[in-house]
Amino acid sequence: MECHADSRVLGLGSGSLQRKDGRWHFIPATSSRKIGDNTMPRLDGFVNMEGKRLVNVSRPDLRPFDRAELEAILNAGRCIFCHSSFKDKVMKNWNPLSPPSPCTKAASKGQLSEKR
């Protein structure tokens, strides 16, 4: 269940995730570095929160999550802590592609909380 809330598993790299004004934001733990005229990207990020690929890979069938997929995974992650079964009425009646969640427990417990 933690994978839905882990920035590294999502391909974003090390850092923190927060929801602000209805959107997810990622704050990387490290930043890119300027070396001469070149910018050295963060080495642990595969994708940014907009779904833009940050590195090239050699496998043609490998791709990062896009923005909509990242949002859906993170939105589901807010609910999975309490509603881990697909039989749960919250999970049955909610589409993570259409936030907000019908559940308010995640916000009250501070799980990936919303900031304004």
- 10-residue mean pLDDT series, the chain (116 residues): 80 90 87 76 85 87 90 80 74 66 54 46
What is residue 78's predicted lDDT score, i.e. its pLDDT?
76
What is residue 56's predicted lDDT score, i.e. its pLDDT?
84
Q: What are phi and psi of 70, to 5 degrees?
A: -60, -45
What is residue 110's predicted lDDT score, i.e. its pLDDT?
47
Residues ≥6 apart with Cβ < 8 Å to 62: none
29 three-class SS? coil
- Under 8 Å between Cβ of 66 and 90: no
For the chain, count helices (H), then strands (E): 3, 5
DSSP H helices, 2-87, are 67-80
